Amino acid sequence: MSTLVRAAAVLLTASVAACAADRPLDRNLSGTGQALRDALALKTFSEDEPLELKTTGAIAVHVENFGGDVYVRANPKAKVTTIDVRRVSNMGWGRWKESRAELADIKWTATLEPRQGGGDTLQVRASAENPEPYFFRAEITIETPALDAVTVRTHEGSVHVIENQGAVDIETTRGDVRMCTPWPMTGAMKIITSNGSIDYRVRGESRGAFDCESHGGEVRQRCEFGRWDAMVKGNDHDTLIATLNDGKNPIYLRTSEKNIRVAVVPDPTNVGREIMDP
């Protein structure tokens, strides 16, 4: 067995052992797969104990992350709001011990704060207090019984927002963005990334004035329900100006090198790991 494979096996075993016993099977399997991929890429990683908060009603979520993936989803079966944070470092095999020790330099906080107009906002902030912060990432997963508006700021990370009831405001780099929800979307939406695809999937009761553009990719659309008007001069393979149900609320989508896919369908969250077409 090569040194690389042996090291990967050791890292994977440690990761599996660290899984919380009370976590759903699908989350454990997903975490194990990611651990194997990181081990093979010679990354060091650790997973913090999940933080659980009692929340009432649909909460808003605001995430400020220095770098890494952010996944926010509603799960009506959940009893509490759970925040999982996974620390990852990519210093390489030659600095493995140093990399492992400095995972502690990733700091994060989560607070539940009253929201103007009623309800709560979950504020999650992550930073890397290290002279070489570019080697580190914080992968944040938030699951809550009901989800309202979502704001995410991160770098070099994918962002998924699933089953939100309110507006989204997402900015990242070098990451794919997914917003899939069965709730009618009628507020302002902004999704900006680079070198990453964007999937915007909603039901036909939603509204919006779409302004979509990909520099180096394509903009694809499919509307099965609702009044869809995309007959605008200037629309091309990489540009889409359209309205859904005569909506005035802006839907602003921007990326580079990858595709934007807009789908207005009966079951927006019914997708697999990969989305090839709207």
- What pLDDT, on the 0 to 100 scale, is given for residue 39? 65
Q: Which residue has the tokens 């016993």?
A: 21
pTM summary value: 0.87
pLDDT at 233: 87
Query: Which residues does the chain have with pLDDT short of 70?
Result: 1-35, 38-41
Enter the tokens of residue 275: 């989305």
The whole-number pLDDT of residue 271 equals 94
How far apart CA 150 and CA 64 sit, in angstroms, is 11
Q: How many other CB atoms are there within 10 angstroms of residue 84's CB atom?
A: 19
pLDDT value of position 30: 54
Please give the pLDDT value at position 74: 98
Which pLDDT value is given to residue 92?
84
